[in-house]
């Protein structure tokens, strides 16, 4: 009888183990299998929350099929205690394992609300953007000029939320003074800026920041990035360039940056200036005249006067030989690389062609013909503008 009883107990134990093993295998398969999400969603994890609360939210969103398996999987993978606060993009069909990784790996939020402070050549702009999970594209919900327009309620509301992300986007060709003035208006940053960094030493780029970040730290990041870019481009420079130092390369890059907004032209424009430097011809470029007038503090906002073309300033390349003493803006990486790896051409002239680009020439006769075409385009545009004004 006892042998029979022990045998039954052992049988039940073995069956139980088999059932448990089958459940574990099934649970593991469920944990790693594609999830039920039909389209991407943004999952918000509040500070101080736990994996159970996250599982409940995911169940409500239809992102997972079993909260217990989600929690057990997080525990089994030793990630339950690694939950990070923020807003995270969870893609269509994401498995429970994928989602656990997303909400525990750390780093910046990948969706939700973003404030972008744009520093442009012609001014500043603040945008409040929301990521649309279905398209993975940001949609602007508010936009304003912090220097001239009232702050909208949408901005005030999102700056009160802990998971709002912030970004400083610096355009290529802005001056260091413009960057500093913009940062002064960035109310989500802290501290003051005592001195304007040397011209050209700040890398135009998009920088993610946190609320309360010192403004000086943001400038330091920009300066470090530009130093790395310049060093890399200088190390890979073409042979035989009439540039004696990385600093001279930065000066030339800033002129290229201000002369063309067409990416495909940068290396061609660079070749013109390199050819002029090699031949001892003055650069004669208008942006250097403008910098001599404004010294980087704002936009000229009008045409250059003939007297200004002839005025002696340290930057006016119509009256000085070679390069000016400093950059005239903060150039982007593409312009730095163009200055140090220009096209090989015999070009020494260029003028606007009416399309946003330039017409290039090797001889003065060709250049004069290009200038005549440009003057005709200017006259036609002026006539059209006057006609539109009369009609209005």
> Domain for residue 19, yes or no?
no
Q: What is the pTM of this model?
A: 0.78
One DSSP character per residue, 114-135 reads EEEEEEETTEEEEEEEEEETTT
Residue span of the structural domain in which 255 resides: 247-379
Same domain? 100 vs 121: no
Using CA atoms, how far residue 203 sits from 169, 222, 280, 337, 340, in Å, is 10, 5, 30, 13, 17
User: CATH number for the domain including 48?
Assistant: 3.30.1490.480
pLDDT in 10s for each residue of the chain, 392 residues = 444 444 454 455 455 544 555 656 777 788 888 888 887 777 878 777 888 888 888 888 888 888 888 888 888 888 888 888 777 878 788 888 888 888 888 766 667 788 999 999 999 999 999 877 777 788 888 999 988 899 999 899 888 887 788 999 999 999 999 999 999 999 999 999 989 999 999 999 999 898 899 999 999 999 999 999 999 999 999 999 999 999 999 999 999 999 998 999 999 999 999 999 999 999 999 999 999 999 999 888 888 899 999 999 999 999 999 999 999 999 999 999 999 999 999 999 999 888 888 999 999 999 999 898 988 888 888 777 677 666 65
Residue in 231, 155, 221, 215 with CA at minimum distance from that of residue 181:
215
> Domain for residue 8, yes or no?
no
Task: Give me the helices (H) in the chain, please.
Answer: 2-32, 51-61, 67-76, 96-104, 153-159, 176-184, 215-235, 246-259, 266-279, 286-294, 306-310, 333-340, 364-391
- Number of folded domains that form the chain: 3
Helix (H, G, I), strand (E, B) or coil at 143: strand
Domain final residue, candidates 230, 259, 288: 230
Sign of CA dihedral 67, 71, 74, 80: positive
């Amino acid at each position: 009888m006892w042998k029979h009883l022990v045998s039954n107990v052992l049988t039940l134990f073995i069956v139980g183990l088999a059932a448990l093993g089958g459940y574990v295998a099934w649970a593991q398969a469920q944990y790693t299998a594609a999830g039920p999400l039909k389209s991407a969603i943004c999952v918000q994890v509040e500070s101080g929350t736990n994996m159970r609360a996250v599982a409940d939210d995911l169940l409500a969103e239809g992102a997972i099929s079993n909260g217990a398996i989600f929690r057990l999987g997080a525990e089994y993978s030793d990630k339950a205690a690694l939950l990070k606060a923020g807003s995270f993009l969870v893609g269509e069909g994401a498995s429970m394992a994928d989602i656990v990784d997303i909400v525990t790996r750390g780093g910046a939020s990948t969706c939700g609300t973003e404030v972008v402070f744009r520093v442009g050549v012609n001014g500043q702009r603040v945008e409040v953007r929301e990521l649309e999970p279905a398209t993975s594209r940001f949609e602007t919900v508010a936009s304003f000029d912090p220097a001239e327009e009232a702050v909208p309620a949408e901005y005030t509301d999102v700056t009160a939320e802990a998971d709002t992300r912030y970004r400083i986007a610096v355009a290529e060709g802005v001056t260091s003074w413009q960057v500093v003035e913009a940062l002064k208006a960035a109310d989500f940053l802290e501290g003051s800026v005592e001195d304007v960094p040397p011209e050209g030493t700040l890398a135009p780029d998009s920088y993610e920041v946190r609320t309360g970040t010192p403004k000086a730290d943001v400038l330091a990041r920009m300066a470090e990035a530009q130093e790395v870019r310049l060093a890399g481009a200088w190390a890979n420079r073409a042979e035989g360039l009439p540039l004696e130092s990385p600093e001279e390369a930065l000066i030339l890059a800033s002129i290229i940056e201000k002369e063309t907004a067409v990416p495909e032209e940068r290396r061609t424009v660079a070749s013109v200036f390199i050819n002029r430097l090699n031949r001892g011809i003055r650069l004669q470029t208008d942006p250097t005249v403008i910098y001599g007038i404004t010294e980087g503090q704002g936009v000229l906002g009008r045409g250059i006067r003939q007297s200004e073309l002839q005025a002696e300033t340290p930057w006016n390349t119509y009256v000085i030989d070679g390069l000016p003493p400093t950059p005239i803006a903060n150039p982007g990486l593409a312009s730095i690389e163009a200055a140090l790896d220009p096209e090989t051409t015999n070009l020494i002239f260029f003028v606007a062609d009416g399309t946003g680009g330039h017409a290039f020439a090797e001889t003065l006769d060709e250049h004069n013909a290009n200038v005549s075409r440009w003057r005709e385009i200017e006259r036609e545009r002026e006539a059209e503008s006057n006609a539109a004004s009369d009609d209005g």
